[in-house]
Structure 1
Amino acid sequence: MEGGQRSTILITNDDGIDAPGLRALVHSLVAPNLFNVLVCAPDSEKSAVSHSITWLHPIAVKKVHIDGVTAYAVSGTPADCASLGVSKALFPTLPDLVLSGINKGSNCGYHIVYSGTVAGAREAFFNDIPSISISYDWVKGKSNLQDFTLAAQVCIPIINAVLVEIKNQSYPRKCFLNIDVPNDIANHKGYRLTKQGKSIIKMGWRQVTSEREGRKMSSDMTNADTETPKNVDSSSVSPDHLLFAREVRGSVLDDDITDYKCLQEGYITVSPLAALSHAEVDCQAYFKDWLQSVPEIPSSSSL
């Protein structure tokens, strides 16, 4: 981005290139004609794949028509898409900013570890490209597709402000941002700087009798809006071929002022993240003393 040139924004996600959250974000950025928008996103849903990458075989890339942008659907993961998008192998120029989202479901607390949406932004961060992951707290029975457009619109001021900092070369390069938009967007309480908490949906397993049985898990690790197919005759399953499906067993929520709690209070949460999560200070102190008490095995050179 030089002088009066338009900023280039690369968009990826984990819900797939046809997902309404990505399309709403693209449309909101294309409409004012202020940005050069590129899209490199998975060709199908890749929710909860975390930061996995494709290593053992090539990935397929296909050009897709989306009005106002240059877009490609990729057979890989969100991290693959972000990596390819900033590599200059697919697009001739580097983006000024990478956006990953808008995800259908929040990404707070420990769920950030599972999130393909956050991984897309993290991969750009690995490549020294400023990035933001964006998620909307979709709630069954309350949310609708128009909410993604509203979620994009409330994030535009942050995106613009980040681009200004990038242009001024004052944007910090030691972190990336994770944004969560509350369910009731029209009545949000404003932006709130938060930190990653420890909230998590506790998962369990149950034995099933068909690969079609059970409910699809959404990217925020909750049950998606899909019907549960009827069980097949259990006699058709071999005793040596056991099938297990994940299911929600409960949740653990934060008491501190963290991303999840502030999101539920109606704030648009903005959490700076880094590539690594360091252990708590008291753990460092414990293991410093503990390690000194562990007897060392003599090295071969001292024998």
Structure 2
Amino acid sequence: MEDGSKPTILVTNDDGIDAPGLQALVRVLVSTSRYNVQVCAPDSEKSAVSHCITWQHPISAKEVDIYGAIAFAVSGTPADCASLGVSKALFPTIADLVVSGINMGSNCGIHVVYSGTVAGAREAFLNDIPSIAVSYDWVEGKSNIHNFTLAAEACKPIINAILLETKNRTYPQKCFLNVDLPTNVANHKGYKLTTQGTSTYRIGWKQVTSGTHGGKMLSTMTMETDNEAPTETDILSVSPEHLMFKRETRGRQIDGNDGTDRHSLKEGYITVTPLGVLSRAGLDCHAYFKDWLPSVTENCSSPAL
């Protein structure tokens, strides 16, 4: 950003450009009159697509009207949208910060790998743009649409601090942030620096027939109901010669470490988790394979097992 000019924020998501989380975030950012706000988001829901990108065919972008922002609905994935948004092919200026969200459902632990919301922030980071992924821990029966506005307001201190550090050239360039807001965001316990944990749903499969409810969820796969079961909405329509299967949850693996993202989120904190692009194996794995790899070539002439 130039001295004296407003910083520019690019907003994307994976729930789609019409999603209440994105709409609330844009409305809050625009209402401050402190930022230039750009929106480049999927034209339909793209939850749990991870870092999928469109490679072999063009994608379309249609300008839409959102609360005074310059906004485009794009036919690609969240990673596509972030990449296009910071490329100068769509907007005349490159954003100072990319915010991906606000997702309807938390993105903690292993679900960071699956999340399109996190992928939007990761893609911006790969393009050397500071970025954060923002998710709200929506629980059916407890949450309401107004919570997204509260979540957006709660993110402003983080957004403002990043922009200031970026302007001063003191912001670290080796990570991006994953922010999760608790269900009772109005009474959150504060901001807590956390590490990515290993919490995840245990996922199984069962065979279904034509007329059975499908397994598409309203949002990212960690959106919860009171009993932590996904909401099923679609009706399958299949030809009889096809076998059809759908995912189903079979419980959850929970972190016991109070320093991890999901554990702290469920305690009522706004969790702030620095993430990198690469997932490195543990040191014990490197120690094992240091001895194992030479033995592979030494034993290559041995009879097969």
CA offsets 1:22-63 (integer angstroms, 9 cap, x no match): 000001100010100000000000000000000010001100
1:283 and 2:285 equivalent?
Answer: yes
| Other structure's SS at 1:294 match | helix
TM-score by length of 1: 0.93
2:119 matched to which residue of 1? 119
Q: Check 1:56–1:211 CA distance in 2 against 1; reply closer, same or farther (3 A cut).
A: farther
C-alpha distance in 1 between matches for 2:212 and 2:161: 46
C-alpha distance in 2 between matches for 1:105 and 1:221: 5
1:253 matched to which residue of 2? 254
C-alpha distance in 1 between matches for 2:136 and 2:129: 23
**For 1:102-181, what aligned pairs fall within 5 Å after superposition?**
102-181=102-181
CA offsets 1:250-278 (integer angstroms, 9 cap, x no match): 11111112001000011100000000011
Q: How many aligned residue pairs are there?
A: 293
Q: Is the 8 A contact 2:136 2:181 kept in 1?
A: yes
Q: Could you tell me how far 1:225 is from its partner in structure 2?
A: 3.7
C-alpha distance in 2 between matches for 1:175 and 1:215: 34
| Other structure's SS at 1:65 match | strand
Q: Could you tell me how far 1:144 is from its partner in structure 2?
A: 0.2
1:301 matched to which residue of 2? none
1:42 and 2:45 equivalent?
Answer: no
Q: Is the 8 A contact 1:14 1:47 kept in 2?
A: yes
2:303 matched to which residue of 1? none
**For 1:1-303, what aligned pairs fall within 5 Å after superposition?**
1-210=1-210, 213-217=213-217, 218-221=219-222, 223-227=229-233, 237-238=239-240, 240-256=241-257, 257-296=259-298
Q: Check 1:12–1:247 CA distance in 2 against 1; reply closer, same or farther (3 A cut).
A: same
| Other structure's SS at 2:84 match | helix
Q: Is the 8 A contact 2:221 2:230 kept in 1?
A: no
Q: What is the letter of the counterpart of residue 275 of structure 1?
A: V
C-alpha distance in 1 between matches for 2:284 and 2:233: 46
Q: Check 1:49–1:212 CA distance in 2 against 1; reply closer, same or farther (3 A cut).
A: farther
C-alpha distance in 1 between matches for 2:265 and 2:210: 37
Ranges in structure 1 where 5+ consecutive residues have no aligned partner:
299-303
| Other structure's SS at 1:37 match | strand
Q: Could you tell me how far 1:237 is from its partner in structure 2?
A: 4.9
C-alpha distance in 2 between matches for 1:63 and 1:245: 35
Q: Is the 8 A contact 1:211 1:243 kept in 2?
A: no
CA offsets 1:180-236 (integer angstroms, 9 cap, x no match): 00001121110000011100001111111127623322303455444575x88xxx8
CA offsets 1:162-193 (integer angstroms, 9 cap, x no match): 00000001001100000000001121110000
C-alpha distance in 2 between matches for 1:98 and 1:228: 32
| Other structure's SS at 1:241 match | coil
CA RMSD in angstroms comes to 1.7
C-alpha distance in 2 between matches for 1:62 and 1:228: 27
| Other structure's SS at 1:174 match | coil
Q: Is the 8 A contact 1:48 1:221 kept in 2?
A: no
Ranges in structure 2 where 5+ consecutive residues have no aligned partner:
224-228, 301-305
- What percent of counterpart residues are identical? 65
Q: Is the 8 A contact 2:26 2:67 kept in 1?
A: no
Q: Could you tell me how far 1:290 is from its partner in structure 2?
A: 1.4
Q: Could you tell me how far 1:86 is from its partner in structure 2?
A: 0.3
